[in-house]
């Protein structure tokens, strides 16, 4: 079951279009100012020349703005702060300043002067290379600052938007958990099996009832939090396997391996459970030659989860579960650039491999 949001969607312009509009408006403004108050010896009738000059100088501003984002801000925003990130940012700043100076020099002395007849320095008797570099840096350094501010504000805006989207997805996911995380047929059958154990006065009845209680408690209470202890998520998986074993009258074959240690790691709730439940619902569970293969490998900072099962084409139960699309969306929101999910949905088998940086 995939949860769809019914919140109204706001109409927003693509980011590239906003950038294009801003730079276009700035170019029009500069050309208008240049034409209205000419400070260069260009004839007023040479309108095309004004446009070429305006576009050319705006390209230098564009270069300063975006190079500062890519070469200066990015090293500071995409990794841990340290001497390496500051070193890369410092080197990026030098490259940005050099690129501005070289591009401006090429534009003015190899395009504007020989082709347009425009010489910006014909009255400058103290022109030197050092002066030109200092002038270029001073004139366009504002755009470097604008690029850095844009990058930092954009990162904060994206992080805040992801946080809000994660909250909305978590709320929708909680509703899905309460309605359908447990397959109703599985739940009712488990209750009936526990009743049979109680009726037979079996010693296994109290333990089975306790497992069911813990499973429901996790769904109703623990899953409400953004993060839970990984140990609790693993306990839920174990409880689900145990209850499925009761429902299948011990005719359940699962090759379940857990490697590594549970050492206080945390995880978003109900990520692993969906895959396990899907295997029980749609996989072959009673064939010792084709057991469900479930493997979890842990370190203090990573989790690798894999599950493989043969498909049961006779299984007609399509209820329960929150759906792969919902799980993928939560992974994208909660673990951006910190997860990989590979799903192979073949005609006779299903394979899932998930890596998380916890």
Domains of the chain: 15-162 (no CATH), 182-357 (3.30.565.10)
Find, among 70, 78, 63, the residue nearest to 23 by Cα.
63
Q: Are strands 339-345 and 254-259 parallel, antiparallel or unpaired?
A: unpaired
**Residue 219, phi then psi, degrees to nearest 5:** -65, -45
pLDDT at 2: 32
* Separation between Cα atoms, residue 129 and residue 280, nearest integer Å: 74
pLDDT at 43: 59
Residues 176 and 327: beta-carbon distance below 8 Å: no
First-to-final CA distance of the chain: 26
pLDDT at 6: 38
Beta bridge partners of 340: 355
The CA-atom distances, in angstroms, between 124 and each of 109, 131, 142 are 14, 11, 23
Segments of the chain with pLDDT less than 70: 1-12, 38-45, 124-125, 171-187, 189, 223, 247, 249, 315-323
Packing angle, helices 129-176 and 83-107, rounded to 10: 130
Q: Rg of the chain over CA atoms, in angstroms?
A: 31
pLDDT at 4: 36
* Separation between Cα atoms, residue 292 and residue 277, nearest integer Å: 11
Q: Look up the pTM and report it.
A: 0.49
The string of pLDDT tens digits covering residues 138-159 is: 989 999 999 999 999 988 888 8
* Separation between Cα atoms, residue 260 and residue 133, nearest integer Å: 58
pLDDT at 140: 92
Residues 252 and 285: beta-carbon distance below 8 Å: yes
Find, among 262, 175, 263, the residue nearest to 219 by Cα.
175
């Amino acid at each position: 079951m995939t949860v769809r949001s019914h919140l109204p969607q706001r109409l927003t312009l693509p980011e590239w279009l906003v950038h294009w509009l801003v730079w276009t408006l700035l170019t029009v403004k500069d050309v208008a100012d240049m034409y209205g108050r000419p400070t260069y010896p260009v004839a007023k009738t040479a309108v095309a020349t004004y446009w070429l000059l305006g576009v050319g100088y705006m390209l230098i501003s564009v270069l300063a703005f975006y190079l500062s984002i890519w070469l200066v801000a990015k090293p500071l925003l995409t990794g841990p702060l340290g001497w390496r990130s500051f070193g890369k940012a410092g080197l990026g700043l030098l490259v940005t300043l050099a690129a501005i100076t070289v591009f401006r020099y090429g534009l003015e002395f190899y395009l504007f002067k020989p082709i347009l007849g425009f010489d910006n320095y014909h009255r400058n008797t103290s022109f030197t290379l050092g002066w030109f570099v200092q002038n270029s840096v001073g004139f366009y350094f504002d755009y470097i600052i604008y690029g850095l501010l844009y990058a930092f504000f954009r990162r904060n805006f994206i992080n805040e938007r992801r946080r809000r989207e994660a909250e909305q997805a978590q709320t929708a996911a909680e509703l899905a958990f309460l309605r359908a995380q447990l397959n109703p047929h599985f739940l009712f059958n488990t209750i009936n099996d526990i009743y049979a154990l109680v009726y037979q006065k079996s010693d296994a009845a109290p333990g089975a009832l306790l497992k069911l209680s813990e499973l429901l408690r996790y769904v109703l209470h623990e899953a409400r939090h953004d993060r839970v202890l990984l140990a609790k998520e693993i306990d839920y998986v174990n409880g689900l396997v145990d209850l499925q074993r009761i429902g299948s009258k011990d005719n359940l074959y699962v090759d379940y391996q857990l490697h590594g240690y549970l050492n206080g790691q945390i995880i978003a709730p109900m990520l692993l459970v969906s895959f396990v439940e899907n295997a029980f619902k749609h996989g072959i569970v009673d064939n010792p030659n084709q057991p469900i293969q479930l493997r979890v490998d842990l370190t203090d900072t990573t989790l690798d989860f894999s599950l493989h099962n043969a498909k049961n084409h006779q299984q007609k139960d399509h209820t329960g579960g929150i759906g792969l699309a919902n799980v993928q969306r939560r992974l994208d929101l909660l673990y951006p650039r910190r997860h990989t999910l590979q799903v192979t949905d073949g005609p006779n088998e299903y394979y899932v491999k998930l890596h998380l940086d916890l």
